[in-house]
Structure 1
Amino acid sequence: MAKEEYGDVKFFGSGGSPYARRVQIALKLNGVKYQHFEEDIRNKSELLLKYNPIHKKVPVLVHNDKPIAESLVILEYIDETWKTHPLLPLNPYHRALARFWSRFIDDKVLPAIQEAAWTVEVKKREKAIEEAIEGLRYLEKELNGKFFGGETIGMVDIAAAFIAFWLPLMEEAVGLKLLTHDKFPKLHKWSQEFCSHPVVRENLPPPSRLLGFFKARYASITASK
């Protein structure tokens, strides 16, 4: 690909953010060179606020000085701009399905997992666990290959990166058991395949640091109960 097709690419992210890591994985899969700006979410830079004045958060991709915010939107932009590693299928129906499942993960599955992990009130936590398991069941049924994208990593796989990498560490930190091999054999195998992919593995945060963060957060929550 010619240099002018890449243009000037900047990426604003934060090391532990699963949403920012989505973008990094997609960029790396497509061989896109970019300038990385690491953001402190407690002390956001003026550049980040300039490029994302509405949500004021990462990730933000800036291509030729044009900012794009929100991880799923950025993934689609990457898919349409760089063609080395397609993230969405060519078939319009299958593309629509990939968008649906990616949004399902963000709107239904991840909020339920977060609620199950960080809620100490018993009834609310039990309800959140039920909702998280229900969401994972739908994904288990949808997964019919090595990856959601077939034999190669696609948009749904990247959207589900939290489930593959962040969730097991969160489970260890707070004592949850959601993504087990017995309950979800296909998802469990997929998570291992996904995290062991060279590009994915190189673009995930250090697990020990993330586990420490989760343990500290849970201790703080339970101490303030």
Structure 2
Amino acid sequence: MMAEPVKLIGCFGSPVVHRAEVALRLKGVPYELITEDLNNKSELLLRHNPVHRKVPVLLHGDRPAICESLVIVEYVDEAFDGPLLMPADPLACAAARFWASFLDKECRESMWMSLWTDGEAQAASARETKANLTLIESQLPDGKRFFGGDAIGYLDIALGAIAHWMGVFEEMAGVQLLNEEEHPALCRWAREYTADEVVRQCLPDRDRVIAALMPRKELYISIANAMAAQR
């Protein structure tokens, strides 16, 4: 019986699209990547994600579309055979979800302000960001390469933006948030993650990402200053 087709609506250089791609590749699921122009969103994207109108969106056969990157990772883990991405232990599974949510909901604003504001707002946000990175680093199991243990798992995928994209934004902004002196274990993990053969297959070229994002730098600064004004 032929497997149902899997399609992923994404865009170039997105850390959340990367999450979905890594999950599919780790599970050995063939898929078609449909690349969106987010400045001119397609009818396909708008039809399948009418709520947020964002990527990634996973299409699996004739099932309803699955939206949001971490939801897609969990779906891929449960719907397809292959190595488990989620921990088998319910408590460890809950902890992995918590720290993934911590990154997306608690850390994002301070990281953004650390990169794109200046003065005291930038300094205070940088302190907050580094404290959050310390909390995340503390979740690395002793003697293990990954948050998932000896193999890449759900939390590693969720934190993939730290491994690759943080350095991109640091270079663009001229700010350093993650360094060997303050977070040696997290830096080691980032190298291990980005060196993984499967991960490398869907990591966008760093120079191409910088070139694609640089025209948006003024927009990023504007958004960060608006955040700072609301604090």
**Cα distance change, pair 154–221 in 1 and its aligned pair in 2 (3 A):** closer
CA deviation vs aligned residue, 1:75-133 (integer Å, no higher than 9, x gap): 1101111131211011111111111111111112233212211224x222222212211
1:1-225 correspondence to structure 2 within 5 Å: 3-4=2-3, 7-65=4-62, 66-120=64-118, 122-144=119-141, 145-218=144-217
Give me the whole-angstrom Cα distance separating, in 1, the residues matched to 2:10 and 2:21: 9
Task: Report % sequence identity.
Answer: 39
Give me the whole-angstrom Cα distance separating, in 1, the residues matched to 2:100 and 2:172: 26
Residue type matched to 1:43 in 2? N
The alpha carbon displacement at 1:54 in A equals 0.3
Give me the whole-angstrom Cα distance separating, in 1, the residues matched to 2:145 and 2:80: 24
Give me the whole-angstrom Cα distance separating, in 2, the residues matched to 1:39 and 1:213: 14
- Structure 2's unaligned 5+ residue stretches are 226-231
User: Relative contact order, CA 8 A, sep 6+: which one is greater?
Assistant: 2
The alpha carbon displacement at 1:212 in A equals 2.7
**Cα distance change, pair 70–222 in 1 and its aligned pair in 2 (3 A):** closer
- Structure 1's unaligned 5+ residue stretches are none
- What TM-score comes out, normalization by structure 1 length? 0.91
Query: How many equivalent pairs are there?
Result: 220
Residue type matched to 1:127 in 2? A
2:117 and 2:221 in contact (8 A); partners too:
no
**Cα distance change, pair 221–157 in 1 and its aligned pair in 2 (3 A):** closer
**Cα distance change, pair 214–124 in 1 and its aligned pair in 2 (3 A):** farther
The alpha carbon displacement at 1:213 in A equals 3.8
